[in-house]
């Protein structure tokens, strides 16, 4: 839209029902703070300016909301005197002059751009106030939208509603768009002549109509307007977000055997023809390319899985893990800050950290890269077509050349040249009959302890 718009994000609540040491808008949904989801919906609605109305944890909230494609200003609401009072905390920002003023809440992470665009279109069509509402089967407790011939006459709180008005299922979602040219004038006329002595933003509907202005309501899905006040509601919002995102992915060509057991992050990217087995968790920063398979009970975070690669079951990819095409990280393996080359295999019970593994190299079961000396991390480099025998320890910094072979059970502390064989273990000795002698001694000692 070519019209200018200022979004006012109300995020100054004390969050007392959240029973938390931090503001509720900082609590994560899909791995990012709730308020960051709200800001993303603003950006998707072509809004480039927003004013944050802040209270507790103001600096942390502003930091969580920040991104490069929207200009954020912050204002502190020192007193809690209602939503109308909260919006006027952004008075200086409103006074800069915008075509549209959009009021949203910082705890509605399921919000999308669609209702915001519909509200802005309502202003573009000549209305002074546009309220975003929703239909619900159980309207108990919500303000009812009184609509007649397409015009919004009033928002009636349940305690003030008549019996007929209580039957209305079209309810106030709390979000509102206001004509920017009249916003300060209308907001300034909201009074506090009520039992709580607070300034209610909802009063603006009757104010604008009394002055000959126009007000309408636009409808949004109830879930998009869901706010969060406690941990139970946070879990319910998480479940809705996950279900919605899983559906989007499956429609786009991702296969999930048991989708309800797969958990995604806000930035998870999965290409078509990827198969995800049950009980897989994606932390932030994961990209999976086409044709990859993520086997059951795997956990990925900050990782890149190339086309045709397989992960798991029971594998963990930590930040910096980069799996090349057709590579494999198998069961009970952990990879951290490591490049796994095309066609390389890390199959069983292995830790690869701070390392480079070349193409088509095989890492045997129980192998570890010893990357930490207690103070600093060090790099292990393994060339292409190498073979690392089972139960080997590669003590970084160390390099194993192309085509080299490390014997099973070795501790490698020096570089291994290409095509060389390295043994780093004690020589085996056999003492005939010694096992019987030891066994008899141990049995005698045990019997003596019982006396």
* C-alpha span between 78 and 56 (Å, rounded): 10
Neighbour tally for 325: CB within 10 Å:
16
| Residue 372 among known ligand-binding residues | yes
| Residue 90 among known ligand-binding residues | no
* C-alpha span between 50 and 208 (Å, rounded): 24
| Residue 45 among known ligand-binding residues | no
Beta-strand relationship, 345-348 and 322-323: unpaired
Largest alpha-carbon pair distance within the chain? Answer: 107
| Residue 393 among known ligand-binding residues | no
**H or E element that contains 9:** strand 5-11
Lookup: tokens for 91: 């008075």
Among 308, 305, 388, which Cα is nearest to 351's? 388
| Residue 230 among known ligand-binding residues | no
| Residue 336 among known ligand-binding residues | yes
| Residue 408 among known ligand-binding residues | yes
The answer to whether the CB of 371 falls within 8 A of the CB of 396 is: yes
| Residue 83 among known ligand-binding residues | yes
* C-alpha span between 254 and 274 (Å, rounded): 5
Identify the three-state secondary structure at position 168.
coil
| Residue 157 among known ligand-binding residues | yes
| Residue 49 among known ligand-binding residues | no
Residue 184 DSSP label: H
Asked if 295 is an active-site residue, the reply is no
| Residue 229 among known ligand-binding residues | yes
- Which of these is catalytic: 27, 247, 295, 348? 348
Q: Find all residues with CB under 8 Å of 174, minimum gap 6, and list them.
A: 83, 105, 132, 225, 227
| Residue 107 among known ligand-binding residues | yes
Neighbour tally for 181: CB within 10 Å:
13
| Residue 212 among known ligand-binding residues | no
| Residue 82 among known ligand-binding residues | yes
The answer to whether the CB of 17 falls within 8 A of the CB of 228 is: no
| Residue 149 among known ligand-binding residues | no
**H or E element that contains 7:** strand 5-11
- Which residues contribute to the annotated binding site for Mg(2+)? 107, 229
- Which residues contribute to the annotated binding site for acetyl-CoA? 365, 371-372, 390, 408, 425
Catalytic residue numbers, as ranges:
348
- Which residues contribute to the annotated binding site? 10-13, 24, 77, 82-83, 107, 143, 157, 172, 229, 318, 336, 351, 362, 365, 371-372, 390, 408, 425
- Which residues contribute to the annotated binding site for UDP-N-acetyl-alpha-D-glucosamine? 10-13, 24, 77, 82-83, 143, 157, 172, 229, 318, 336, 351, 362
């Amino acid at each position: 839209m070519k019209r200018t718009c200022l979004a006012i994000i109300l995020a100054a609540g004390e969050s007392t029902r959240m029973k938390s040491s931090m503001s509720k808008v900082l609590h994560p949904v899909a791995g990012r703070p709730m308020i960051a989801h709200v800001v993303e919906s603003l950006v998707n609605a072509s809004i480039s300016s927003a004013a944050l109305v802040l209270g507790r944890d103001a600096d942390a909230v502003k930091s969580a909301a920040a991104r490069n494609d929207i200009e954020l200003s912050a204002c502190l609401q020192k007193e809690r005197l209602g939503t109308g009072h909260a919006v006027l905390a952004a008075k200086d920002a409103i006074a800069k002059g915008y075509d549209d003023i959009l009021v949203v809440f910082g705890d509605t992470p399921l919000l999308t751009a669609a209702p915001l665009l519909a509200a802005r279109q309502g202003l573009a069509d000549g209305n002074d106030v546009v309220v975003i509402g929703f239909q619900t089967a159980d309207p108990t407790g919500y303000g009812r939208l009184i609509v007649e011939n397409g015009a919004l006459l009033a928002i009636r709180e349940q305690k003030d509603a008549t019996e007929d008005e209580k039957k209305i299922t079209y309810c106030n979602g709390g979000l509102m768009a206001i004509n920017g040219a009249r916003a300060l004038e209308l907001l300034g006329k909201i009074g506090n002549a009520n039992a709580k002595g607070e300034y209610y933003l909802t009063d603006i509907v009757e104010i604008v109509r009394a002055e000959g202005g126009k007000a309408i309501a636009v409808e949004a899905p109830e879930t998009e307007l869901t706010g969060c006040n406690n941990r139970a509601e946070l879990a319910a919002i998480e479940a809705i977000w996950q279900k919605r995102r899983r559906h989007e992915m499956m429609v786009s060509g991702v296969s999930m055997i048991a989708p309800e057991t797969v958990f995604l992050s806000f930035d998870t990217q999965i290409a078509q023809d990827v198969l995800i087995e049950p009980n897989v968790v994606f932390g932030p920063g994961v990209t999976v390319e086409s044709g990859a398979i993520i086997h059951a009970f795997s956990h990925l975070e900050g990782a890149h899985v190339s086309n045709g690669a397989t992960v798991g079951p029971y594998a963990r990819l930590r930040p910096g893990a980069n799996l090349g095409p057709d590579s494999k990280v198998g069961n009970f393996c952990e990879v951290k800050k490591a490049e796994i080359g095309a066609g390389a295999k890390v199959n069983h019970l292995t830790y690869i950290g701070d390392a480079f593994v070349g193409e088509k190299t095989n890492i045997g079961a129980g192998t570890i890269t010893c990357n930490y000396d207690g103070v600093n991390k060090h790099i292990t480099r393994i060339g292409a077509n190498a073979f690392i025998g089972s139960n080997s320890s590669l003590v970084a910094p160390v390099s194993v050349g192309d085509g080299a072979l490390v014997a099973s059970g070795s501790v490698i502390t020096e570089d291994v040249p290409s095509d060389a064989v390295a043994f780093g273990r004690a020589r085996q000795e056999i003492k005939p009959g010694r096992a019987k002698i030891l066994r008899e001694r141990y049995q005698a000692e045990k019997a003596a302890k019982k006396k």
